[in-house]
Amino acid sequence: MSRVRVLAGVVAAIVGLPVVAACGPKDETPASYRPASLAPLPSAVAALPGYGHVRKVVLTPLAEQRLRVRTVTVAPGAGGETEAPITAVIYDPDGVPWVYVPDGGHAYTRHAITIARYDGDTVVLGAGPKAGTAVVVVGAAELLGTEYGVGEE
């Protein structure tokens, strides 16, 4: 009788495995869900050299949560310089360094920077956001990918 129980258990396990595997968490995001949109910059900013192709990235609250976007404040350096974490710096396809700055709500705008020097995990900015400005340190690469349409069909 015990062999019958073992055999029945094995059969139940084999048949039940696909059923249990299909019971995991579901992604309930509708197929038409757009996690982000692009908005034009104000004409005065868009007219600046190098900003002609820059767009404001506007995330949905869910997209922002999933990306786990985090910011830190740009700090004043020792000699009046401005310092930012190296994790805030992203490079466009031409190798130009930028940072993303929150632009109210769930919007982020890319700002050009120049790097005076690297100091460990910090960069000293020759030009860029002023001290006290928040910059994105987690999620910047995804924002750049959204702006450039990486991963879209």
Average pLDDT over residues 4-15: 57
Summarize pLDDT for 122-141 with one digit per residue, the tens.
999 999 999 999 999 999 99
Alpha-carbon Rg for the chain in angstroms: 24
List the structure tokens of 47: 């007219």
Count of Cβ atoms closer than 10 Å to residue 118 Cβ: 11
Residue 43 pairs in a beta bridge with none
Count of Cβ atoms closer than 10 Å to residue 29 Cβ: 11
Residue 86 pairs in a beta bridge with none
Summarize pLDDT for 39-50 with one digit per residue, the tens.
999 888 888 888
pLDDT of residue 79: 79
Phi-psi region of 123 (alpha: psi -120 to 50; beta: other; left: phi over 0): beta
List the structure tokens of 10: 């094995």
